[in-house]
Amino acid sequence: MLIAAKSAACIAAFTFVVAFWLLMTMQASYQQTTGSNAEQRNALSDQDGQSKTQKSSGQYLRRLIELADSHDRAIVAMGTGFIAAFTVVLALSTIFLWLATRDLVRGAEKTAKQQLRAYVFVEKASVLLDGMTLKAAVDVRNSGLTPAYDVNIRSRMQTAEAELPFVLLPIEDVAVDRANMGPGMVINPNSELVIPHDRPDAIEAFKSGRGVIYLFGNIEYRDAFEQTWVLDFRMKSQHFMGTYWIMSPTAQGNTETRKK
């Protein structure tokens, strides 16, 4: 789009210069011809020894000069209109070029923000078994090229039977972990869940897969371009590795949105 606009502007500018030069040349030629018109007529009439070809050329020149003399205003008006038309074309091309350049600058700014802004996400997570207590080990990383400011993390754990649908508990009443995160920085928010001592069978259910451990929450942060983002995450237990469960993202519940 930008290349086409530049080409149109160059063509219009070149045409304008050529048209202006032709008009100036025509006017200068006409002025010189008008001054010597009478002398040329006398000289042509006195040249009795010229050939027929020369006489025909002289007559043709006289007629051309007389035609230009009689249509002086029309020629000037035509040349002026020609220049005016291409001036309009040049103006339109300049406007088109400005619009294309503006869109290009906006696109470059948007791309730069996308490439440079902070990206905070849950890099990995696991749940440790400590007696009857489940302890989440979560790595939250800023993978962007600029810092993330006012990072607020809420997370909690919840258990359910594998066959039953998962219903989220409220997250608003959970304590918030706050921090600022530089590029590449990792923080570890805390989250624990105590299993009642009268339910030792629950631990065995989680180990066998009959029960599921869910880890979910949200991360809110502000990037270097003053945009606020909210990341919702949801993970569930997959495999028990002797002392901990590997957590993996669920099919739903993992989205990032810009806060308005």
Which residue ranges make up each domain of the chain?
2-116, 120-259
d(CA 63, CA 66): 5
140 has pLDDT over 80: yes
Residue with tokens 């045409």: 15
Residues 6+ positions from 32 with CB-CB distance below 8 Å? none
Q: What is the pLDDT of residues 92-125, one digit of tens each?
A: 878 877 787 777 777 777 777 888 999 999 999 9
193-217 mean pLDDT: 93
The Cβ of residue 63 has, within 10 Å, a number of other Cβ atoms equal to 10
38 has pLDDT over 50: no
Q: How far from each other are the two terminal CA atoms of the chain, in whole angstroms?
A: 32
What 3-state class would DSSP assign to 177? strand
Closest CA to 6 of 96, 84, 83, 82: 96
79-91 mean pLDDT: 79
Query: Who has greater pLDDT, 205 or 103?
Result: 205
* pLDDT score for 78: 73
d(CA 75, CA 53): 29
- pTM beyond 0.85: no
240-256 mean pLDDT: 94
Among 7-21, 141-155, 156-170, whose mean pLDDT is lowest? 7-21
129 vs 27, 118, 234, CA distance in Å? 99, 33, 20
CATH number for the segment(s) 120-259: 2.60.40.10
Among 59-68, 122-131, 206-215, whose mean pLDDT is lowest? 59-68
255 has pLDDT over 90: yes
* pLDDT score for 142: 97
Using a 10 angstrom Cβ sphere, with 0-12 exposed, 13-18 middle and 19 or more buried, the burial of residue 237 is: buried
Mean of all residue pLDDT scores within the chain: 80
Residue with tokens 């990037």: 223
CB 258 within 8 A of CB 228: yes
One-letter amino acid identity for 82? Answer: F
Q: What is the pLDDT of residues 223-235, one digit of tens each?
A: 999 999 999 999 9
pLDDT category of residue 44 using cuts at 50, 70 and 90: very low
CB 22 within 8 A of CB 76: no
